[in-house]
Amino acid sequence: MIGNERHGLIGIIGNDLLRHGKLPLLLLIAVLVSAVLVVTTTHQTRRLTAEREQMVLEKDALDIEWRNLILEENALGDHSRVESIATEKLQMQHVDPSQENIVVQP
């Protein structure tokens, strides 16, 4: 009895696809591969965007620190400028407090 043979549905579909549906099977595989690539690319783009945002914040913090250091350098530079003017133009000298002899003039 030939009619009593039982074939699995998956086997029948697989054989039919391989025999008659090679192009649709190929297109299905291409769609699945492209979908996985789209998801992967989207994930990498979001990760890189977040990383870029973090780097921009770090750059802003470093810029602020740099400006503060320049201001501090300028402030400290003003003291040395005043000291050099006092030494050169007014002939003032720096006095060491431990070596100081106090002379009181009447």
Per-residue model confidence as pLDDT tens digits over 35-79: 999 999 999 999 999 999 999 999 999 999 999 999 988 877 777
Cα end-to-end span (Å), the chain: 142
Average pLDDT over residues 13-33: 87
CA distance 20 to 64: 68
Mean confidence (pLDDT) of the chain: 84
pLDDT confidence tier of residue 1, bands split at 50, 70 and 90: very low
Q: How far apart are CA 102 and CA 62, in angstroms?
A: 49
Contact 17, 25 (CB under 8 A): yes
